[in-house]
Amino acid sequence: MKEPKLTDTVLPENLQPREKALALGIKSLRDAELMAILFGTGIQGKGVVALCDEILEDNKRHLSLLTSMRPDEVIARYKGVGLAKALTLLAALELGSRAAADAIAVSNRPIMNSEMAHEFMKSKLVGLDHEEFWILLMRQNHTVIRAYNVARGGFNATAVDIKVILSEALMAKSPVMMLFHNHPSGALIPSAQDKALTQKIVSAAGLLDIRVVDHIIISHLGFYSFVDNGVMPRP
């Protein structure tokens, strides 16, 4: 059956997302309205904004929870969402995440706290079905030199070679670095192994006058900063 078009019978003219965006700007739209523009149409008996609101409610209104889904999971979970809608939504979320990281890189702003660090790195680590370990190499003023993927592992663990970390930092002439890894399960509490590895890296880097200023765990539920939670001293 052909999907119904978004018409005045589904949503009043003055509340349609496209018209609202044109009149008030794209930032005036709620999350559900932004999704509605991507979807374009609802399903039989349900307008597109209502459909999008239901999807958001199912995810406790956290868009980040959607980023961890595969297209087939979105299709299976939400009636009326086909392959085109699922791919469009996930692509838009990924593009937004990358744009936020790119804005920091283009402006060359110093990364001075865990929130900025998470914003810069989350597009690389959210939504993966395996663990990865990254380092963010920075100058003395905390502007970014580059991010480097040190290791890729399984669902619960990643083997990290400290020599590789130090080698990359030396080649980049980086005096400051941050550590990052993801937890595909969504858990944000560091394991004993996470803490032990962090201490080894901090100690080894210190011998080369390289400061490790934080270790951040990232998942689709948010992030955990070792510094913010007192596991590492503030730099």
Tens of pLDDT, residue by residue over 183-221, are 998 899 999 999 999 999 999 999 999 999 999 999 988
**Do 53 and 82 have their domain in common?**
yes
Residue 11 pLDDT exceeds 50: no
Residue 103 in any domain: the answer is no
Q: Give the pLDDT of residue 27.
A: 87
**Do 154 and 117 have their domain in common?**
yes
- At residue 21 the predicted structure's pLDDT band, cuts being 50, 70 and 90, is confident
**Do 61 and 141 have their domain in common?**
no
Q: Which of 97, 122, 138 is the last residue of a domain?
A: 97
Q: Give the pLDDT of residue 104.
A: 72
Phi and psi based region of residue 72 (left: phi greater than 0; alpha: psi -120 to 50; beta: remaining): alpha
**Do 48 and 136 have their domain in common?**
no
Residue 221 in any domain: the answer is yes
pTM of the complete model: 0.65
Give yes or no for a contact between 89 and 35, defined as CB atoms under 8 angstroms apart. Answer: yes
Residue 105 in any domain: the answer is no
**Do 173 and 116 have their domain in common?**
yes
**Do 93 and 114 have their domain in common?**
no
Q: Which of 35, 63, 97 is the last residue of a domain?
A: 97
Residue 232 in any domain: the answer is no
**Do 48 and 142 have their domain in common?**
no
Q: Which domain holds residue 21?
A: 13-97
**Do 58 and 124 have their domain in common?**
no
Gap between the terminal Cα atoms of the chain: 60
